[in-house]
Amino acid sequence: MNTQHHAMTDANSDARTAPGATADPRTRAERRFERQQVATSESLRSWRTPARRRLLVQLNWASIGVMAAIAVAGYFWFPIVIAWLPMTVVICTVWTMLRVTIDSKDGAPAGYLDEFELSTLLAARSRALSVTTGILFLIAIVLITGSSLQLGDGHRLAYAMGGLAVLSVFVAGVIPASAMVKTMDDEV
């Protein structure tokens, strides 16, 4: 099996460095980032001001708050969870707008950021991991305790906690994006 892997690796490396082909020193992530930059560089020009970026950050946090309230309220009154659908559209829209206006710097390869941006991003990612881990730990405790003590309706509890778990992923994304907003210049 090792021999097969080496043969496949050699074949792949030969294909990349075949005569006449130019070796691209960029990683796949760098090429993807550059394509994304080209595709979105002229998008949402009027939203690329500090005030509007801050507004998008606030709208992301507000959307997360509303969706968390819907998830928790769904435990007590299940029909409210239908409100999750339009809020999903809202949060996906404001999240995409935020990422476009910050040039996706929250996901940029390190070589595309200056020293300040990189240190800001790394600190924000660390904070995001800590917050998300804490949220997921609390959700796990609630699920374990709720199922052990048979508190309330099991599927409602699972739905509510599942919704909060999904939101923790949004939280993990908004923290670095909001940190990068603070590093951006006025580009209008």
pLDDT attached to residue 29: 83
| Beta strand spans in the chain (E) | none
pLDDT tens column, 156-170: 899 999 999 999 999
- For the chain, give the mean pLDDT: 86
Looking at the predicted structure, is the pLDDT value of residue 120 above 70? Answer: yes
- Which tens digit of pLDDT belongs to each residue from 81-104? 999 999 999 999 999 999 999 988
b/e for 48-72, b at 16 or more Cβ within 10 A? bbeebbeebbebbbebbeebbebbe
Per-residue pLDDT, 152: 73
Give 107's DSSP letter: G
Q: Would the pTM count as exceeding 0.75?
A: yes
Q: Where are the alpha helices (DSSP H) in 77-105?
A: 84-101
Residues 115 and 91: their CA atoms lie apart, in Å, by 30
User: What is the pLDDT at residue 21?
Assistant: 54
Read off the pLDDT of residues 30-49 as tens digits, 9 standing for 90 and up: 888 888 888 888 888 899 89
In the chain, where the domains are located: 42-181
pLDDT at residue 13 tops 70: no
